[in-house]
Chain A
């Protein structure tokens, strides 16, 4: 279609020629003068609507998509949806104007229906040929109309198309001019600059402004590491990790294929964003390849919304990319040069590494101080490095790769070469790391720098570390062996013989020493006796006396390991030997001996063997303790089981936790009925009338106060309601910090002895009464006869009657004593204590016994230095005590001696002593003297007579007052009987 034809007539494809236009459509003039597209499209829409008498939608499309549209006779609310439809409308570049029915449009049925509902039926497309190749078009969407009417529309379309094309062309021309100016401006801006980064910044800023895009990105080959492609971006956030693209990035691969810019398909627009260039996702991306120092990179421009970059924009991008390539390559070269310069000067100043700088012919141009100090080589400048190297390697330097040329060849090809070498000889040998680095000057090779680093310290450390590692490995092996030793006890318990064997075999492995023996000390023989050994041929002695100076004896006596390498362990063997003591705290139990014919032992072996010995000692001690505890437990169990006394153990809550068979027999309760039940429910105490007496108070006292409660007689009620007299005592059991955590009760059956006692006292009481009556008669008649109530008596008669009377009196006294004893023992003794004065009492007693003393020529003397305090006692019984003691003293004194009574206040007691100078007593007699019938037989006592009950009664009486009685003195030197009575602190209140 030519421009001329469309200008004059609107030629319809089919029927245009047959029906000439009926004249210029309305608004023609306005179309011709229009400079912008919207009035053109509006005119088309309005005119067509008027002609067809229906709704019309008109639109203009340029190469980059819909430019504008207008609607007529369409509801305003449909405007947006129609605009959306127009934007997405795909037209297959018609070459000729054509009317297309809705059905031919490839629209969805819903869209077709929608358009039909609006009254739209067909689309008239009028192509517009534009210079950039991609055509634009004018579109009119029309209502249903007869073909004849449509034909009349032809001229209108043609007019409108002509006007639109003119407007679009002038816009393109204007744009090209603008672009040309832009390219010029950019080129000018960037060629002024030498710095790579400044160029990039300026370029990207210009591009964003020029193309009205959100993001501008430059990706160029890395200058230092060519494999990566640093990303410079504006208007796009580059997160950590996204600072460079990998060489195999799809976009980079594509830019290598050609120089032409291209738009990434929308599906691929995310390729850049996906690399981590976060921010808004890009929908339209223009990519223009750039080349920097022969490496490929690209410029990318991106918009978040859909956009089609025009051919003009592509061309401009290509031009800008070319300009940018030149400017960036220059800048890169410039930067490379700068870096090389910096490197060189840096090397020169570097303090620790020795440096040699070579020019491109590998002639030394500089060395630094550190190099001269390290090698001692001066005046190297001007020498060929390969010559120097050959001389060095031959004499002082040991290196694996020696050929200088091969090294330099590799450097020349741009690679860095690293060598390790040894300089000098031990002990001054230095370990060196030598690095050959190529230096690039511009695009060509610029020589090299050789750095010599002294890594002696590092190497030494590494070697030391290796040695340490080996040691550590050995130690960890030893530790695990030791740990296994620990397990032996858990496997074999306390079977020492087995444990010894296991230890022997462990020691054999750990010390790599086949001959091992364990000796144990036997205190009886003062010898170390071989207890277990791996030796089969008597290499180790069976017994070692401590007195010898053998290694074993020394180690044992000093309690220290004894190391004897190639010494005189035994002349026949001459083994190296190591002996360590098996010691538990301060106790040495024995020794372990290892020996070897060749191998010597060191400190480490000593340590290991000592550790093993330590473990063994613990094990042995545990075994001993175990056996000991076991034996104790067995003994205790035997006592617990077989004792006649009931033993009941209770815990802190008063619950029974131990109950022996005797307890079972006493209470008639089985062990299972007792264990876990409260003590007072198991051991039930009752009063004689059968009412319960709780043991709770006693148990509480034992547990909370840790008190022992002495034996008391109590009535126990058995399970089958029998009553039994028992003697119970309670005692706390303390834990190792002294808290009473439990307690025990010991219960003894005293029923039988009580019954026996009762029978005995009944017997004594009855007999006494029956004896008293005849004795009274004898006594009475005798006294009357001797008083001569019945006539005179001759001397002989009187004398013998007196003898009868004396004998009778002895019998009377004996009966009295027996009665007292029976009363005391049956608990029938009744005391009425009150504060009494001993002074008057002793005066009474002395006067009563004075006659008797006088008869024996014995002086009774009362020593009283001060006023005596009152004592709390029963007066009659106290008198009885005093009479008894003084009477005894008189009886057992030698004639013409003194019996002295004195007093002493001790604390809250008054001690009364009666001292005689008679036969005295021995300590062994002192124990017996207060026992029942515990009379001592000596010449005096035979003469003195007496029942042998007196002191027993006195003791019981004193004790029932809360006092004590004791005797001191020596045989032949008299004796001193003392007793104490409590002092009455306060007179009882009279109320």
Chain B
């Protein structure tokens, strides 16, 4: 049972991942854009953040930067969960590594099961 913050703007995907994680016995809080994510994090500290990149208002990289600035948030593992191609991720590879992402997953490549698997793995590392 872990506290997970899912940052995702697509409602259907939110529903899907939320259903899956809850089925697996995790608690999922949801933010639908970057600003909302940062607002939630002011009062809530999750154990892991699943972060989309392309979002309205504030994109995932900006959110990631803000998180890494906060000492009490810095240690939280972040998994990028995106639909950008590998190439785009590559382009920001340096940035992503510098910002200390645990993993990045492409939504269309991974089934929810596999995402859960990766999340569990990341949580175990901590």
Pairwise interchain contact A784-B107, C-beta atoms closer than 8 A:
no
B91 in complex: contacting residue of A779, A783, A828, CB < 8 Å: A828
B19 in complex: contacting residue of A773, A784, A876, CB < 8 Å: A784
Q: In the complex the two chains form, what is the Cα distance from A775 to B110 in whole Å?
A: 11
Pairwise interchain contact B85-A783, C-beta atoms closer than 8 A:
no
For A781, the chain B residues whose CB sits under 8 A away are 16
Q: In the complex the two chains form, what is the Cα distance from A769 to B82 in whole Å?
A: 10
Q: Is B45 interfacial (CB 8 A cutoff)?
A: no
Q: With A783-B111, A784-B16, A815-B108 as given contacts, are A823 and B83 in contact (CB-CB < 8 Å)?
A: no
Q: Is A780 interfacial (CB 8 A cutoff)?
A: yes
Q: Is B42 interfacial (CB 8 A cutoff)?
A: no
Pairwise interchain contact A773-B83, C-beta atoms closer than 8 A:
yes
Pairwise interchain contact B20-A784, C-beta atoms closer than 8 A:
yes
Q: With A783-B113, A784-B19, A789-B20 as given contacts, are A776 and B13 in contact (CB-CB < 8 Å)?
A: yes
Can you name the residue of chain B whose Cβ is closest to the Cβ of A805?
A: B111
Q: Is A900 interfacial (CB 8 A cutoff)?
A: no
Q: Is B70 interfacial (CB 8 A cutoff)?
A: no
Pairwise interchain contact B20-A779, C-beta atoms closer than 8 A:
no
Can you name the residue of chain B whose Cβ is closest to the Cβ of A771?
A: B108
Q: Is B23 interfacial (CB 8 A cutoff)?
A: yes
Q: Is A829 interfacial (CB 8 A cutoff)?
A: yes
Pairwise interchain contact A768-B85, C-beta atoms closer than 8 A:
yes
For A787, the chain B residues whose CB sits under 8 A away are 113
- Residue-by-residue, is A754-777 near B (CB-CB < 8 Å gives 1, otherwise 0)? 000000000001001100111111
For B16, the chain A residues whose CB sits under 8 A away are 777, 780-781, 784
Q: Is A443 interfacial (CB 8 A cutoff)?
A: no
Pairwise interchain contact B87-A772, C-beta atoms closer than 8 A:
no
Q: With A784-B20, A787-B113, A812-B108 as given contacts, are A769 and B13 in contact (CB-CB < 8 Å)?
A: no
Kindly identify, within residues 27 to 84 of chain B, every residue whose CB is under 8 Å from any CB belonging to chain A: 54, 83-84
Q: Is A108 interfacial (CB 8 A cutoff)?
A: no
Pairwise interchain contact B111-A830, C-beta atoms closer than 8 A:
no
Pairwise interchain contact A769-B10, C-beta atoms closer than 8 A:
no
Pairwise interchain contact A773-B20, C-beta atoms closer than 8 A:
no
Which of B12, B86, B87, B107 has the most C-beta atoms of chain A within 10 angstroms of its own C-beta? Answer: B87
For A774, the chain B residues whose CB sits under 8 A away are 12
Pairwise interchain contact B10-A783, C-beta atoms closer than 8 A:
no
Pairwise interchain contact A780-B111, C-beta atoms closer than 8 A:
yes
Kindly identify, within residues 809 to 851 of chain A, every residue whose CB is under 8 Å from any CB belonging to chain B: 812, 815-816, 819-820, 823, 828-830
Pairwise interchain contact A777-B20, C-beta atoms closer than 8 A:
no
Which of B23, B109, B111 has the most C-beta atoms of chain A within 10 angstroms of its own C-beta? Answer: B111
Kindly identify, within residues 592 to 650 of chain A, every residue whose CB is under 8 Å from any CB belonging to chain B: none
For A765, the chain B residues whose CB sits under 8 A away are 85
Which of B10, B87, B91, B108 has the most C-beta atoms of chain A within 10 angstroms of its own C-beta? Answer: B108
Pairwise interchain contact B13-A819, C-beta atoms closer than 8 A:
no
Pairwise interchain contact B107-A773, C-beta atoms closer than 8 A:
yes
Can you name the residue of chain A whose Cβ is closest to the Cβ of B83?
A: A772
For B83, the chain A residues whose CB sits under 8 A away are 769, 772-773, 776
Can you name the residue of chain A whose Cβ is closest to the Cβ of B85?
A: A819
Pairwise interchain contact B113-A776, C-beta atoms closer than 8 A:
no
Q: With A773-B13, A779-B108, A784-B19 as given contacts, are A819 and B113 in contact (CB-CB < 8 Å)?
A: no
Interface size on B, residues (CB 8 A): 23
Q: Is B100 interfacial (CB 8 A cutoff)?
A: no
Pairwise interchain contact A823-B113, C-beta atoms closer than 8 A:
no
Shortest beta-carbon distance from A834 to chain B in Å: 15
Q: In the complex the two chains form, what is the Cα distance from A516 to B91 in whole Å?
A: 88
Give me 21 A-to-B residue pairs in the complex whose CB atoms sit less than 8 angstroms apart, sorted by A's number: A769-B54, A773-B13, A773-B83, A774-B12, A776-B83, A777-B13, A780-B17, A780-B20, A780-B111, A783-B112, A783-B113, A784-B20, A784-B113, A789-B23, A812-B109, A819-B87, A820-B85, A820-B87, A828-B91, A830-B90, A830-B91
Shortest beta-carbon distance from A880 to chain B in Å: 10
Pairwise interchain contact A776-B108, C-beta atoms closer than 8 A:
yes
For A876, the chain B residues whose CB sits under 8 A away are 86
B87 in complex: contacting residue of A776, A812, A830, CB < 8 Å: A830
Shortest beta-carbon distance from B125 to chain A in Å: 23
For B87, the chain A residues whose CB sits under 8 A away are 819-820, 823, 828-830
- Residue-by-residue, is B87-106 near A (CB-CB < 8 Å gives 1, otherwise 0)? 10011000000000000001
- Beyond A772-B107, A773-B13: 6 further Cβ-contacts under 8 Å? A765-B85, A772-B106, A773-B10, A780-B111, A781-B16, A828-B87
Shortest beta-carbon distance from B79 to chain A in Å: 15
Pairwise interchain contact A780-B54, C-beta atoms closer than 8 A:
no
Shortest beta-carbon distance from A561 to chain B in Å: 82
For B10, the chain A residues whose CB sits under 8 A away are 773, 777
For B90, the chain A residues whose CB sits under 8 A away are 830
Q: How many A-B residue pairs have CB under 8 A?
A: 65
Q: With A823-B87, A830-B90 as given contacts, are A777 and B112 in contact (CB-CB < 8 Å)?
A: no
Q: In the complex the two chains form, what is the Cα distance from A473 to B54 in whole Å?
A: 106
Q: In the complex the two chains form, what is the Cα distance from A413 to B83 in whole Å?
A: 147
For B54, the chain A residues whose CB sits under 8 A away are 769
A769 in complex: contacting residue of B19, B20, B84, B113, CB < 8 Å: B84
Q: In the complex the two chains form, what is the Cα distance from A812 to B85 in whole Å?
A: 12
Q: In the complex the two chains form, what is the Cα distance from A120 to B33 in whole Å?
A: 161
The 4 A-B pairs at the shortest CB distance, nearest first, are namely A783-B111, A776-B107, A772-B83, A776-B108
Shortest beta-carbon distance from A411 to chain B in Å: 133
Pairwise interchain contact B12-A779, C-beta atoms closer than 8 A:
no
A823 in complex: contacting residue of B13, B85, B112, CB < 8 Å: B85
For A830, the chain B residues whose CB sits under 8 A away are 87, 90-91
Q: With A789-B20, A830-B87 as given contacts, are A775 and B108 in contact (CB-CB < 8 Å)?
A: yes
For B13, the chain A residues whose CB sits under 8 A away are 773, 776-777, 780
For B85, the chain A residues whose CB sits under 8 A away are 765, 768, 816, 819-820, 823
Pairwise interchain contact B112-A780, C-beta atoms closer than 8 A:
yes
Which of B84, B91, B112 has the most C-beta atoms of chain A within 10 angstroms of its own C-beta? Answer: B112
For B20, the chain A residues whose CB sits under 8 A away are 780, 784, 789
Q: In the complex the two chains form, what is the Cα distance from A829 to B90 in whole Å?
A: 9
Can you name the residue of chain B whose Cβ is closest to the Cβ of A775?
A: B108
For A768, the chain B residues whose CB sits under 8 A away are 85
Shortest beta-carbon distance from A287 to chain B in Å: 134
Q: In the complex the two chains form, what is the Cα distance from A815 to B17 in whole Å?
A: 22
Q: In the complex the two chains form, what is the Cα distance from A974 to B84 in whole Å?
A: 38
Q: In the complex the two chains form, what is the Cα distance from A779 to B16 in whole Å?
A: 10
Pairwise interchain contact A772-B108, C-beta atoms closer than 8 A:
yes
Can you name the residue of chain B whose Cβ is closest to the Cβ of A880?
A: B86
For A780, the chain B residues whose CB sits under 8 A away are 13, 16-17, 20, 107, 111-112
Q: In the complex the two chains form, what is the Cα distance from A950 to B84 in whole Å?
A: 20
Kindly identify, within residues 774 to 816 of chain A, every residue whose CB is under 8 Å from any CB belonging to chain B: 774-777, 779-781, 783-784, 787, 789, 812, 815-816
Pairwise interchain contact B23-A777, C-beta atoms closer than 8 A:
no
Can you name the residue of chain A whose Cβ is closest to the Cβ of B54?
A: A769
Q: In the complex the two chains form, what is the Cα distance from A223 to B15 in whole Å?
A: 158
Pairwise interchain contact B84-A779, C-beta atoms closer than 8 A:
no
Q: In the complex the two chains form, what is the Cα distance from A338 to B87 in whole Å?
A: 135
Q: In the complex the two chains form, what is the Cα distance from A644 to B88 in whole Å?
A: 37
Shortest beta-carbon distance from A915 to chain B in Å: 30
Shortest beta-carbon distance from B45 to chain A in Å: 27
Q: In the complex the two chains form, what is the Cα distance from A769 to B108 in whole Å?
A: 10
B111 in complex: contacting residue of A772, A779, A820, A829, CB < 8 Å: A779
For A779, the chain B residues whose CB sits under 8 A away are 108, 111
Q: In the complex the two chains form, what is the Cα distance from A820 to B106 in whole Å?
A: 14
Q: In the complex the two chains form, what is the Cα distance from A819 to B84 in whole Å?
A: 10
Kindly identify, within residues 888 to 944 of chain A, every residue whose CB is under 8 Å from any CB belonging to chain B: none
Q: In the complex the two chains form, what is the Cα distance from A789 to B20 in whole Å?
A: 8
Q: In the complex the two chains form, what is the Cα distance from A245 to B99 in whole Å?
A: 134
Can you name the residue of chain A whose Cβ is closest to the Cβ of B11?
A: A777
For B23, the chain A residues whose CB sits under 8 A away are 784, 789
Shortest beta-carbon distance from A762 to chain B in Å: 13
Shortest beta-carbon distance from B89 to chain A in Å: 10
Shortest beta-carbon distance from A660 to chain B in Å: 40
Can you name the residue of chain B whose Cβ is closest to the Cβ of A772?
A: B83
Shortest beta-carbon distance from A444 to chain B in Å: 142
Q: In the complex the two chains form, what is the Cα distance from A787 to B111 in whole Å?
A: 11
Q: In the complex the two chains form, what is the Cα distance from A175 to B10 in whole Å?
A: 170
